[in-house]
Amino acid sequence: MDDSDDAATQTPSPARATANPAPETTIGRDFEVPDTMTTPPRTDAEVPAYVRALGLPGLADVHVHFLPQNVLDKVWEYFDNAADNYGRDWPINYRFDEDTRLNTVRELGLRAVPALTYPHKPGMAAWLNEWNAEFAAAHADVIHCGTLYAEPEAADYVPKALAAGAKLFKVHVQVGVFSPDDEVLDPAWKALEEARVPIVIHAGSAPLPGTYTGPQAVINVLERFPKLKFVIAHMGMPEYDEFADLAEKYENVYLDTTMFASGYFSSPAEVTPAYRERLAGLEDKVILGSDFPNIPYPYVDQISGLAALGLGDDWMRSVLWTNGARVLGLD
């Protein structure tokens, strides 16, 4: 899944040549870690040296977005109005052209690049899945992703995407405004369960609550399909304990760290001792997630924020690489 040969032989596109410089020098937050731990990076440029110091081959980040440019433009426009939606500004830190964004995550150390897409209305998921197949075919290190919407057609296009080689799905309950336990999705869940393909699911009620967000609908789906490989985005924020219950109860349920403890919505210092204790016990179930590129801070904040939980270098190794590599099927 290494695209370096490809990248080396390609001449830079005009779009890349005119792009803003990658924000390598952005200073992250100065989180404290115990002396017993490897000093975390302060800047994105320091991330690869930190990963090497931990003895890891790279980062296995399960939650990265690449979208058709017209869809991404709409997402960015939405975050430009974040003050109306979230009550605070959300300046996209990696608002660059596609090649620059791909190279940024490669330089950070991602060995495989998720391209999570999600529909906000019916009739859109099949088209996104076609785009995902093409995007993965064009880049050797991009993971072939898929998505779905609660619509009858999901019974056809989900198995079709799996047959075409999709390895990772994304479902966004708040943006999609549908319930994951809607019976129209049962054939899709069955196909995903049989294929053992992981599904990153944004089901928690933060940053924005939705009609169908919260743990109950996910619990209902798992009762019907207990082997589903759900990766709960944002650790289930803010329903942390309810979603941690699921990660403890179900062998194939994981939590992704996206935006957790990064200092924006959630800071290491705010994590309760009881939950921190649960995270230590869930060392094999927590997977690095970032939400790159749509984050209002440098990528390094996600890593240094997790380190500041003070759970030790072994915990960091599991979260930054081992768990994600296992779920994504990396070597």
Instruction: Please give the residue ranges that form the binding site for Zn ion (CB under 5 A).
Output: 291
- Looking at the Cβ atoms of 171 and 282, the one nearer to Zn ion is 171
* Residue 169 three-state SS: strand
Taking each helix axis from N to C end, the angle separating 215-224 and 240-249, rounded to the nearest 10 degrees, works out to 10
Residue type at position 303 = I
Nearest approach, Cβ of 40 to Zn ion (angstroms)? 23
Identify the residue whose tokens are 């390094």: 300
Q: Which two tokens stand for residue 202?
A: 């944004």
Residues in the chain: 331
Question: Hey, is 163 helix, strand or coil?
Answer: helix
Nearer to Zn ion, 46 or 291 (CB): 291
Which CB atom, from 193 or from 291, has the smaller least distance to Zn ion?
Answer: 291
**Closest approach of Cβ 281 to Zn ion, in Å?**
26
Nearer to Zn ion, 141 or 291 (CB): 291
Closer residue to Zn ion, CB minimum distance, 50 or 299: 299
Which residue number, 159 or 236, has a Cβ lying nearer to Zn ion?
236
What percent of the chain is helix, strand and coil (3-state, nearest 5)? 45, 10, 45
CB of 65: closest distance to Zn ion in angstroms?
6
CA–CA distance, 159 with 166 (Å, rounded to integer): 9
- Supply 312's token pair: 């030790």
Query: What's the Cα-to-Cα distance from 26 to each of 5, 22, 43, 107, 257, rounded to whole Å?
Result: 28, 9, 6, 15, 21
- Least CB distance from residue 315 to Zn ion, whole Å? 23
CB of 289 to Zn ion, least distance (A): 8
Measured CA to CA, the distance from residue 262 to residue 302 in angstroms comes to 5
Least Å distance, CB 148 to Zn ion, is 15
Q: Which is nearer to Zn ion, 174 or 323 (CB)?
A: 174
With CB atoms as reference, the residue minimizing the distance to Zn ion is: 291
Considering beta carbons, is residue 72 or 311 the nearer one to Zn ion?
72
The nearest distance, CB 193 to Zn ion, in angstroms, is 23
Alpha-carbon span 13 to 208, nearest angstrom: 37
In Å, how far are 44, 56, 243 from 106, measured between CA atoms?
Answer: 12, 15, 31
**Closer of 95 and 317 to Zn ion (Cβ):** 95
Q: List the 199-202 sheet strands across, edge first.
A: 145-147, 168-172, 199-202, 230-232, 254-256, 286-287
Determine the Cα–Cα distance for residues 26 and 253; give it in Å rounded to an integer: 34
Shortest approach of Zn ion to residue 291 CB, angstroms? 4
The answer to whether 210 and 177 have CB atoms below 8 angstroms apart is yes
Question: Closest approach of Cβ 233 to Zn ion, in Å?
Answer: 6
